[in-house]
Structure 1
Amino acid sequence: MHSSTPPKNNTRSFSTWHRLLDWAQEHYRYRTFAKDAQIPTRSGLLYLVQRGTIRLNGSAETEPPAYPHQNITPAEFQLQGGDETFLGFVGAGQPFEIVDRSPFTLQAFAHTDNTSIFWMYWHDLENFPSFRREILDSFRYQHQRKLLWLNTLGQRHTIERLLGYLTLLIEEFGEPCKEGYFLPFPLTHAQIASAIGTTRVTVTRLMKELREERKAILIKEDNLICLLSPSQPE
């Protein structure tokens, strides 16, 4: 694991977080979502992940195609990757916001079960001045990670984009295991393909190469991706 791995969010005081949760519940701004449920969002609000993981997708304003022989809902169409780009994750303790930029639409989904969020207006942060500074620092960190992501996507070879992308994800969200660090939630080949600009078939082939030839990753139980430590054999 690289030394750039960010520390877990241990700096926020328990008392501040407890006050925020109490405030959100008192104002009916706290909800828990099942896996793959879409989060109702609107521009101008600040969202904070209290538990679980949020998946961000971007799409153009197009309607799902009509399937005369299949009863496919818009949500199922999104889960199958129709006309959507996977943009990344927001983990517990992190903020996010959805900004409307027609004709593009950003959407948030609960990537794991029992994902809880609460939301507020930006001016509500005036009641929590120290937390406001923390939110701005978190967005600044997210911006720096996006620059690294863009640099990774600029790699000429798809396998380097793939490995760089997995490395960035596991650096940010990974948990230690005996082989190295692993992503604690599943990620489909279709979602990876959407993120790095290739096809699902290509990702499947290159994942096999990373496992069998480069010995860079392994797949743990429940299809969790593990990035092997340099000194660890597969």
Structure 2
Amino acid sequence: MLKLLPSQTVTNQDPQPEVAVTVTQPRRIHPWKPKTYRFNRGDQLPDYGDLLWQITDGYVRNITWTKDGEMTTLGIWGEYDFLGHALSIVTPYCLECITPVTAVLCAYPINRMHEILLHNAQQTEKLLAISHERQVYERLRSLLTWLARRFGESAPAGRMLKIGLTHQQLADLAGTTRVTVTRFMQQLERDGWIKRLPKRQILVYPTS
């Protein structure tokens, strides 16, 4: 996993000059420091223009929607990932918390943008490839495998996925319907690919 710490880049805020009776003092430029915020499940991370969010705990999905109101999930992001509309040309653009989230609002890390953009592009490309698998059964299996490898925890029998995605959220990622996801989740469990656990946790068995 790409582990990037919040940038310490200095930005300028609105100056507050001190003015004497006859002489105007130089403007004081104060460094902008990263700030940590906490959000609940279902909250949206505010858009602060060129500032970015770095997730330190929890999971976020970035979404957009068509003129007809059809929503598209562009990606799932977790610890150490940088997000923000400044990294996207998609409009509308929304960052939605799918779990409780702790995130740092930080300045645009110019000196590390190559790493950040490469990492984000690779994850988006992988999700795009999965979404174009023709068979929904295989698409959903590939999606769960990718999520488990990226966000899951090691378990004796495989990878434990604890994000707690709903069937509707999985459907949004896989480009299908909630009913179809429910049906194929049952089939994947019968076929021995996954085991569904309480609190929407999923044990994903290793693939060859």
TM-score bucket (shorter structure): 0.7 to 0.9
Task: Give percent identity, aligned residues only.
Answer: 25
The yes-or-no answer on 1:202 pairing with 2:174 is: no
Determine if the alignment matches structure 1 residue 34 to structure 2 residue 21: no
Alpha-carbon separation, structure 1, partners of 2:67 and 2:89: 11
How many angstroms apart in 2 are the aligned matches of 1:176 and 1:120? 31
Whether 2:202 is the aligned partner of 1:225: answer: yes
Q: Residue type of the partner of 1:222? A: K
**Equivalenced residues, count:** 186
Partner of 2:97: 110
Equivalent residues of 1:95, 1:139 under 8 A apart: no
Q: Which residue of 2 aligns with 1:144?
A: 122
8 Å contact 2:54–2:80 — kept in the other structure?
yes
Note if 1:47 corresponds to 2:24.
Answer: no
1:158-201, Cα deviation, whole Å (9 max, x unpaired): 11111111111111111112221021210111111112211111
**Structure 1 residue ranges without an equivalent (≥5):** 1-6, 63-81, 127-131
Provide the secondary structure at the position in 1 that maps to 2:92. Answer: strand
**Could you tell me which amino acid in structure 2 is paired with residue 85 of structure 1?**
T
Alignment of 1:126-205 (within 5 A): 132-133=111-112, 135-205=113-183
Are the equivalent residues in 1 in contact too, given 2:167–2:181 (CA < 8 A)? yes
- Which segments of 5 or more consecutive residues in structure 2 lack a partner in the other structure? 12-31
TM-score (norm 1): 0.69
Where in structure 1 do 4 or more consecutive aligned residues deviate above 3 Å? 26-29, 99-102
SS class of match (2:85): coil
| In 2: Cα distance, 1:151 partner to 1:161 partner | 9
Of 93-102 and 52-61, more deviation after overlay is shown by 93-102
Q: In 1, Cα distance between the equivalents of 2:186 and 2:116?
A: 35
Q: Name the CA shift for 1:225/1:88 in 2 (closer, same or farther; >3 Å).
A: farther
C-alpha deviation, 1:230, in angstroms:
4.8
Q: Provide TM-score, normalisation by structure 2.
A: 0.77
Greater CA radius of gyration, 1 or 2? 2
Distance 2:202 2:72 in 1: 20
Question: CA offsets per residue over residues 123-159 of structure 1, 9 Å max, x none?
Answer: xx36xxxxx33x5313202212222222222211111
Q: Which has the higher contact order (CA 8 A, sep 6+)?
A: 1
Higher helix fraction (1 or 2)? 1
